[in-house]
Amino acid sequence: MSGALIYKPPPAASPVTRSVTQKPKLIEILTPTQAQTVLETLRDKPLYPVVALALASGLRRGEILALRWSDVDLDGGALRVEQALEETTRGGLVFKSPKTRHGRRTVTLPPSTVAVLREHWKAQQEQRLFLGLGRAEPSALVFADWDGSARSPRALTHQWSKTIKTAGLKETFHSLRHTHASTLIASGLDVLTISRRLGHGSPAITLGVYGHLFKPDDRAAAIMEAALKGVE
């Protein structure tokens, strides 16, 4: 897997009556060096702002493609996830609301990503004016096709796979979300905040996927010792 960190979580215990065992999923995480390689490979390419946002926000593919400029607060450095774009088996595109209340959320953005989005907005307006489409409305999609229509999630995945090969990597687009989560975990950010940022229904889901990345913290005895000093 091109040096990516891969974790194979143990299968959950199944009832005795169950005869089929589900296969655990592989989790692909880009190393910091690989993430930088990806960004450098894509710089000045149409896919760059999409990938930069994916790494910085942890949004799912469909959530990124459903983003509208009205959902993005560049001055405030944040965006609001309100919908996700799904592609049906027949190739149709459907905008859907988040499956859980936590899926609809606000995600803060680092200044560098805000700068990327500002440049993307400028380039998008220039392209529209060149094509005679006029200035984009606030409801326009952030990552639209050339005519302003929604981009196919499958087409994005194909574009990603094709481009990433030039960097000598094979990781999936979803690995950007896993990389985002693992980076936050490594920094010591608490699981509840990470869960809310990822749009998980509960921290239990986050722990089920990324629990192996959390380092054990055995300071409990020392904390209680300090808290109870002088009580007796």
User: CB within 8 A of 127, min separation 6: which ones?
Assistant: 146
Cα-trace Rg, the chain: 21
Residues 80, 104, 174, 196: which is the catalytic one? Answer: 174
The number of residues making up the chain comes to 232
Choose among 80, 83, 66: nearest CA to 108.
80
User: CB within 8 A of 203, min separation 6: which ones?
Assistant: 191, 192, 195
Spatial separation of the C-alpha atoms in residues 150 and 65, rounded to whole Å: 7
177 as an active site residue: the answer is yes
212 as an active site residue: the answer is no
Residues 60, 105, 151, 178: which is the catalytic one? Answer: 60
Residues 177, 178, 180, 197: which is the catalytic one? Answer: 177
178 as an active site residue: the answer is no
18 as an active site residue: the answer is no
99 as an active site residue: the answer is yes
Residues 48, 128, 178, 210: which is the catalytic one? Answer: 210
Within 13 Å and on the Cβ side, how many CA atoms surround 68? Answer: 13
Choose among 71, 41, 42: nearest CA to 57.
71
Residues 99, 118, 212, 219: which is the catalytic one? Answer: 99
101 as an active site residue: the answer is no
Indicate which residues carry an active-site annotation. 60, 99, 174, 177, 200, 210
